[in-house]
Chain A
Amino acid sequence: EAQVTQNPRYLITVTGKKLTVTCSQNMNHEYMSWYRQDPGLGLRQIYYSMNVEVTDKGDVPEGYKVSRKEKRNFPLILESPSPNQTSLYFCASSLSGTVSSYEQYFGPGTRLTVT
């Protein structure tokens, strides 16, 4: 089954404790992206990747890191989480990052709480 997977689905952590949210897709998509969803703000892009080893900042990149060492994986790293990073996080992928008509496929979401 074609899908985007994320782990963990739920995470409660404390301020300053490094964490990684994994994202993997099995559709051989070139483009991958991370979003955060907050009430009243919709989804906002954190980082995106056009292909392996190519990443760039989205609209809200502060406090996050990403890497794209393999085509299928795009982990999101919070090196020192803070309470304002409490949010619902989505990973998404698309066949190509240069064609705006291509649908983005979303993972199931990760609910992160930082205390």
Chain B
Amino acid sequence: AQTVTQSQPEMSVQEAETVTLSCTYDTSENNYYLFWYKQPPSRQMILVIRQEAYKQQNATENRFSVNFQKAAKSFSLKISDSQLGDTAMYFCASSGEIQGAQKLVFGQGTRLTINP
């Protein structure tokens, strides 16, 4: 079974600061993928970044980067130079195959507030 845990229900930082959101996961899959989704107040789910588990190199998308520690089953998201538009709920998710079907499992979410 896949599980994803986000232990920080809420976080708050000042604009332009760097913030790191934590995520741990558990899976019995050998081939899996990890994602961070952003959900702004509009409620739309937006893919922020994706990491293939077989790749050691950490994924980066502009101001967003991850710290993927496979042995520790940790997948944190770092947001550099945070902006007001980064205010949102962030969900960590893992994707694997269960009985031949794609399975996406989400964490509980972290509500991030960027203060001016």
B108 touches A41 (CB 8 A): yes
Main secondary structure of the interface of B (DSSP, over half): strand
Contact A97 to B107, CB < 8 A, known contacts A108-B44, A109-B44: no
B106 touches A44 (CB 8 A): yes
What class of interface size applies to chain B in its complex with A?
Answer: 20 to 34
A97 touches B9 (CB 8 A): no
Contacts of B6 in A (CB 8 A): 42
Interface residues of B in 49-65 (CB under 8 A from A): 50, 52
Is B84 positioned at the interface, with any CB of A under 8 Å from its CB?
Answer: no
Is A74 positioned at the interface, with any CB of B under 8 Å from its CB?
Answer: no
Is B31 positioned at the interface, with any CB of A under 8 Å from its CB?
Answer: yes
* Distance to closest chain B CB from A78 (angstroms): 20
Contacts of B33 in A (CB 8 A): 100-101
- A residues within 8 Å of B by Cβ? 31, 33, 35, 40-45, 48, 50, 56, 88, 90, 92, 94, 96-104, 106, 108-109, 111
- B residues within 8 Å of A by Cβ? 4, 6, 9, 29, 31-33, 35, 42-45, 47, 50, 52, 91, 93, 95-97, 100-104, 106-109
